[in-house]
Amino acid sequence: MVEYSTFQNESTSQKHEAAEMGKQVQSRGSPRKFLPLICAIFLLLSVIAMTSFGAGKSAAHLQNLAVDEIGEFDGLSFATYNSYTKDTPIDSMWTHVAEPYRETTFRAKVPTEWLSADLEIVWEIDGQVLPDKDTTIVHTFTSTGPTSVAVTIANPERFGEKETYRSDVVVKYVRREIRSLTADDRERTLNAMEAIYRLSQTDGEALYGPNFRSIGSFQVQHLDGAGRMECDHWHDDAGLAAHHFGFTIQFEEVMQLIDPLVSLPYWEYTLDAENLDELEHSPIFRDDWFGKMSPTNEKHIVDTGRWKFLEIGYSADFDFDVQNAYGLLRAPWNTDSTPYLTRYKYVNQGSVFSTPGCSIFQQVMQKATMREINALLNGATHGPVHIEIGGQWGLSDYYIDLLSSMGYAGIADEAKPVASQVLIFKVLWRMGYARCPTTCSSAEAKTGECSCSAPRELYEDLGMTPYDVLEAADVFKYLMKTTFMFNDKNTYLLYV
């Protein structure tokens, strides 16, 4: 997998448009690199093929070669590009990169001394002679990996003298920032993703074969690694990179069952952090892309656009044992009863994080050890975006008022209280200091009575105080911008 951005710097006159679509950055050597995605590894095979020639053929078209095609070259060679890379070449370790199912143009670069109206040109791909005899040909690969491509020129006027340039062309899928895709490619990409999210396992297999996976199977896989009590295998320490890289590849492979042209794009949200006042103004959240970041309806259901009323699966449909109190494929500490995709830009009416920008990524990547980097990848670069988009709501008015009376207010709006327990509670749950209901009724959902709690007997039976619990769970660090003033080890007050 190759990654690069097709963004270029914009002129001053384009700043208004950049605010809508995200300012563009240089495609190579940019300090704004998104968290690197894993590259697929291919065994490079040495392919040796004999060069063959067809019958003599007039090549008068060579008289019309463009200047850059004849140039001052040391020897015969060819250029490789497609509609994306013609103007923005891929900066990679390979001389020639092509993409499967996307038209690739090969253009012979002919040395000046070889110019002749009678030149013969032969192209070969993996030893197979192509019928095209022009200096520029178009070919579409249908598989990935290294492929031997050769171009040979012969000059009958110089006693049949010939020269061959042969090189491996590495055929790989390329991941691009979603805003840099053409409108057609973006639509095809989103259509493939929507099929994974909308189709049942049975219907998907009927359409695309036994390797199809519905989004439910991905939810099960993620919850199995991140939603169990013993630990979060997928987000703590080295788990984030290892699991999410593999998870990304698996999802992309299913997309390519649906449409073999597409690859999974990435979202360079540092562009939005640097250039937008509000993340929800990013084109990512257009109705025809991924839908509203923060729907205003009571339950915060995404109810317009491509993803409207996207259903959340039930664990019983997958014979799976990690679920919330309503049997939905959500974490046990998530007591949202709504069986649809929900989003909210606030955490209990306030803000905890802002979108990670370039400076955050720079700080992370400058750490001296992988241990330090792994510790920050989730908490500094990945997790905040989840919270900023997913949000939290449903905290009772009693606790909202209690936090307000303590002077604890949201970072973005001092009039709106916020509880950092969004970061704390699952830790307390995993360590046995909190409990979440295993089943709740629809009536409890309406009254808000279905909620997790930290029963006093869980820690008092151990001779512990609330302070002892927070200290043992090592969660003080999550209470950001907060100073703790303890009257004693039994009570504490929170102050910003």
Digit-by-digit pLDDT tens for the chain (496 residues) are 554 433 333 333 333 333 344 333 333 333 333 333 323 322 222 222 222 223 333 333 333 333 334 333 468 999 999 999 999 999 999 999 999 999 999 999 988 777 766 788 999 999 999 999 899 999 999 999 999 999 999 877 766 688 899 999 999 999 999 999 999 999 999 999 999 999 999 999 999 999 999 999 999 999 999 999 998 999 888 888 889 999 999 999 999 999 999 999 999 999 999 999 999 999 999 999 999 999 999 999 999 999 999 999 999 999 999 999 999 999 999 999 999 999 999 887 777 778 999 999 999 999 999 989 988 888 889 888 998 999 988 877 777 677 666 655 544 444 444 545 677 888 999 999 999 999 999 888 877 788 888 899 989 989 999 889 988 998 876 664 443 333 344 333 333 2
How far is residue 172's CA from residue 144's CA, in Å, rounded to a whole number?
A: 5
Do residues 395 and 348 make contact, with C-beta atoms less than 8 angstroms apart?
Answer: yes
CB 310 within 8 A of CB 197: yes
CA dist 304 and 120 (Å) reads: 59
> Side by side, which strands form the sheet with 104-109?
77-81, 104-109, 136-139
Does an H or E element contain 224, and which?
helix 215-226
Q: What letter does residue 28 receive in the DSSP assignment?
A: S
Rounded-to-5 percentages of helix, strand, coil across the chain: 35, 15, 50
CA distance 220 to 206: 21
3-state secondary structure of 176: strand
Residues of the chain with CATH 2.60.40.10: 70-171
Contact 128, 137 (CB under 8 A): no
Helix (H) or strand (E) holding 88: none
Retrieve residue 144's tokens: 């990935």
Instruction: Please tell me the predicted confidence (pLDDT) of residue 304.
Output: 97
Distance CA 262, CA 265 (A): 9
Dist CA 200 CA 206 (whole Å): 10
DSSP string, 366-402: T-SSHHHHHHHIIIIIIHHHHHHHH-B----HHHHHH
Taking the model in full, what pTM does it have? 0.79
Non-local (6+) Cβ contacts of 389 within 8 A are 279, 293, 343, 345
Q: Which helix (H) or strand (E) holds 128?
A: strand 128-129
In the chain, where does the domain assigned CATH 1.10.1280.10 lie?
178-394
Provide the token pair at 128: 């197979």
| CA dihedral over 311, 314, 315, 319, signed as positive or negative | negative
Q: In the numeric block, which tokens belong to residue 320?
A: 């799976």
Q: Which fold has domain 178-394?
A: di-copper center containing domain from catechol oxidase (1.10.1280)
The answer to whether residues 174 and 75 touch, using CB atoms and an 8 Å cutoff, is no
**CB count, 10 Å around CB of 431?**
15
Which tokens hold the place of 378?
Answer: 């989730």
The hierarchical CATH code for the domain 70-171 is 2.60.40.10
Residue 315 has what DSSP assignment? G
User: What sign has the CA pseudo-torsion 478, 482, 487, 491?
Assistant: negative
Q: Match 């990670």 to its residue by tokens.
A: 356
How many C-beta neighbours within 10 Å does residue 457 have?
7
H helices of 383-460, in order, are: 383-390, 397-405, 421-430, 442-447, 456-460
235's CB contacts (< 8 A; 6+ apart) are 226, 378, 382, 383
**Sign of the torsion angle spanned by Cα atoms 17, 22, 27, 31:** positive
Q: Which stretches within 259-328 are classed as H helix?
A: 269-275
